[in-house]
């Protein structure tokens, strides 16, 4: 009988903190300076500290982007803050490849996931620790932090999904999430 070795894992994910530990992580940070025209009040965004980090994403890409059949894994952290009453949020996107779905799940903090289909119909749901969200293909998605602490959520998507930011840059979402008298409120944007 020959003995075979059992490997130690190299990648760890802490479900409590969202800490991803891997020899191969890609980190991207979004500063306020990189979010031009994302918030309704562009003048207020431009007047704020441009070096402020709004959100960051740590990703594990086991295969090259665009490869069919692979999966990507990411952890997003959105810091608390607002631009003229509108909560700090991700830019949001459709996937470039039509009909490529994604899972999001809440790890820490309080947020709202805003979705919009290709007809401009929008809806939103709270994203909180242990909530699980299936985002169907052809649905644009963005997350806002409605709390006073960091909002952390995980994501898993197809490696050939790609990201279409241009449609959202041009038209935005049909709803915006704003603080109205201390309450997160979804309002029509168009």
Report the relative pairing of strands 140-145 and 175-180 from DSSP bridges: unpaired
| Residue span 87-106 as binding mask against Mn ion, x where in contact by CB under 5 A, dash where not | ---------------x----
**Minimum separation from the CB atom of position 3 to ligand F6R (A):** 41
CA trace torsion 36, 40, 43, 45 (10° rounding): -60
**Minimum separation from the CB atom of position 83 to Mn ion (A):** 22
Tokens of 188: 């029509």
**Minimum separation from the CB atom of position 87 to ligand F6R (A):** 14
Contacts to ligand F6R from residues 74-113, by CB under 6 A: 74, 76, 90-93, 102
First-to-final CA distance of the chain: 70
- DSSP for residue 150: -
Chain residue whose CB lies nearest Mn ion:
102
Alpha carbons within 13 angstroms on the beta-carbon side of residue 71 total 7
Check if the beta carbon of residue 116 is closer than 8 Å to that of residue 124.
no
- Total number of residues binding ligand F6R (CB under 6 A)? 12
Binding site for Mn ion (CB under 5 A): 102
Binding site for ligand F6R (CB under 6 A): 57, 74, 76, 90-93, 102, 141, 155, 157, 163
């Amino acid at each position: 009988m020959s003995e075979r070795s059992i490997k130690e894992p190299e990648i760890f994910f802490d479900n409590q903190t969202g800490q991803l530990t891997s020899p191969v992580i890609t980190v991207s940070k979004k500063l306020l300076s990189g979010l031009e025209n994302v918030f309704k009040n562009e003048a207020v965004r431009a007047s704020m500290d441009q070096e402020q980090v709004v959100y960051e994403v740590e990703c594990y890409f086991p295969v090259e982007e665009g490869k069919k059949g692979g999966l990507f894994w990411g952890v997003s952290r959105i810091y608390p803050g607002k631009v003229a009453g509108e909560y700090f949020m991700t830019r949001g996107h459709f996937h470039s490849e039509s009909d490529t779905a994604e899972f999001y799940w809440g790890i820490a903090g309080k947020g709202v996931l805003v979705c919009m289909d290709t007809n401009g119909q929008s809806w939103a749901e709270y994203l909180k620790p242990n909530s699980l969200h299936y985002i169907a293909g052809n649905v644009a998605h963005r997350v806002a932090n409605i709390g006073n602490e960091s909002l952390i959520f995980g994501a898993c998507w197809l490696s050939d999904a790609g990201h279409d930011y241009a449609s959202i840059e041009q038209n935005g979402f049909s709803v915006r999430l704003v603080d109205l008298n201390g309450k997160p409120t979804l309002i029509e944007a168009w």
